[in-house]
A and B are shown apart, each in its own frame.
Chain A
């Protein structure tokens, strides 16, 4: 080959290498940002909520969540609410249903997509969390969430639960009581419900109670049309 061909070949190699080096971190980060599971067939935590058993006017799950996580329990516009009871009424039939709503821990979370710093992220076991160390408080995730799951901390906090750090200027939401789950426990709301409305477990484990029940009964995801594949499913809607 002539000298020019060698030069061209080297140029192309270098250019391709440079392009790859430029693009690769973005591609790796893309996976990190989307919380893609590094190993398939792992745990996926989820909940199945039996709305038929959920009593209107009962707030036990909310009270338990507030106590567990150190929330004030206030319902002013600036107060954090990680879980709330929603009363819904079918406009055409008039049928009324009561249900708890919290972060739906989507498989394709819009909040994770939009977070500029990657503070909003999905753990390998499916739990969607906010890394408060990275959160800059831009509230973009709050705009993006279809379920209004997230709250912003509007004032300085004191006397936080040592297991649940939370602070002013960051965004927060239901953590599926990750501090309890990691020790083999249940979320506080699931434990507190006297009517056993909230069933928590590993959706990927075919032997778990939740996986078997999800297979047996009719359940839906809220706003399933958005194709986010939330980990929280609802019976009776």
Chain B
């Protein structure tokens, strides 16, 4: 399949990608510098919408970082051989995306120069503080797990290591979900369904990212993905997409039942302008219905179905997070139930938010970091799956 010119192109392609990703990360660093210099006033965030685009990117990356390890878990914990060979790549992706997400979160802080303070002053009732432990522990756990997979002598340990990673990432994703669950006063949050919802959503997003990366690696290295593996992974993603849609539907349907939540749901699902649009068109249609059609329709088995469906799932994921994080803040706090309110501090008003360039650059920078780690990792070390011989 490979002709003489293709290896050169592949090599050039790698360097081109490095330059592009590097440029994006550099632009992000410039945005961070501007934010540190001038303050958050140059962003779209304000006292009503305190978490914006950077958090949308960061939470996607962190949730997907946890979910992508499903591929490894199915291999190591549930012993499916087709997944076992993919476990190292999934582990690398997990580390890469976690690094990218944390980069964005830490650089969006009002005082990023005080990370040391965060590391040395620990409030045990704060889920943010626990997440510092969980996220850094995750790096260590996945690193050890990768070692057990890639160092032949350590292979017998890959099952317990994989199990430890499996448990750790459930705790970590729960930790991500409860960030919002614990916000008792906000109508969008403060519910116990969020941790399991995030866990199941992580399965879908993680696998979607894995598909995209795997497809790119195979395409750019002239490899072919076996049809049997394609079908299994594709169907698995279908199951995850349906399951996560179920959780999102349950969250909204339950909310609709409570009279005190009705106005909020009306805002998110029908009257809130950009939020219902992103929810129905971005998340439900593009992020769920279209991918499910692509996955399950028994049309021609074309290779390109999976990456496209996966990309749509990812787009849908960003849309959902925008609605969840930003829409959830845009809806005003109900401080005086039964009263209509107005003040100089936007009480009773829908919060206004427009994503700004520094925020988007920062978010993309996180993706760039994840990309660089993955690309350099697969180039330098043995992460590309070594396919099993056909039976």
Contacts and interface: CB of A to CB of B under 8 A. Distances in A.
Direct A–B contact in the complex, CB atoms closer than 8 angstroms: yes
B39 A154 contact: yes
B341 interface: yes
Contacts of A116: 118, 122-123, 126, 128-129, 132
B350 to A, nearest CB: 12
Interface stretch (B9-17, B181-189, B313-321): B181-189
Nearest to B121: A117
B47 A80 contact: yes
Interface string A161-181: 000000011110000000000
B249 interface: no
A145 interface: yes
Nearest to B341: A88
A156 B39 contact: yes
Nearest to B353: A77
Interface in B323-375: 329, 333, 335-336, 338-347, 351-352
B115 A136 contact: yes
Nearest to A27: B124
A102 B111 CA distance: 25
Interface residues of A, number: 61
Contacts of B47: 77-81, 142, 148, 151-152
Contacts of B148: none
B341 A86 contact: yes
B50 interface: yes
Contact of A115 (B126, B179, B182, B185): B126
B46 A101 contact: no
B111 A137 contact: yes
A146 B338 CA distance: 16
Interface in A23-70: 26, 29-30, 33-34, 62
A92 interface: yes
A145 B347 CA distance: 13
B41 interface: yes
A207 B163 CA distance: 62
Given A84-B344, A89-B340, A113 B125 contact: yes
B128 A143 contact: no
B341 A75 contact: no
Contacts of B124: 26, 29-30, 33
A87 interface: yes
Q: For the side of the interface on B, what is the size category?
A: 35 or more
B109 interface: yes
B128 A153 contact: no
B50 A117 contact: no
B150 interface: no
B304 interface: no
Given A138-B128, A143-B183, A155-B38, A222 B336 contact: yes
Contacts of A171: 110
Nearest to A132: B111
B2 interface: no
B375 to A, nearest CB: 30
Contact of A84 (B48, B132, B347): B347
B361 to A, nearest CB: 18
B232 to A, nearest CB: 40
A147 B110 contact: no
A144 B110 contact: no
A148 B333 contact: yes
A102 B39 CA distance: 24
Nearest to A80: B47
A152 B123 contact: no
A112 B122 CA distance: 12
B127 interface: yes
A110 B184 contact: yes
Contacts of B112: 136
A138 B39 contact: no
Contacts of B342: 86-87
A81 B117 contact: no
Contact of A77 (B46, B123, B129, B335): B46
A56 B341 CA distance: 13
Contact of B185 (A62, A101, A137, A144): A144
19 contacts: A33-B124, A34-B125, A78-B46, A84-B343, A85-B343, A86-B335, A90-B339, A91-B340, A114-B128, A116-B122, A137-B110, A143-B51, A143-B183, A145-B185, A146-B335, A147-B335, A148-B47, A169-B109, A237-B336
Given A90-B339, A115-B128, A137-B111, 19 more contacts: A78-B40, A78-B47, A81-B345, A84-B345, A85-B343, A90-B338, A91-B339, A110-B182, A114-B128, A114-B183, A115-B126, A117-B122, A119-B121, A134-B114, A136-B111, A144-B182, A153-B110, A154-B40, A169-B40
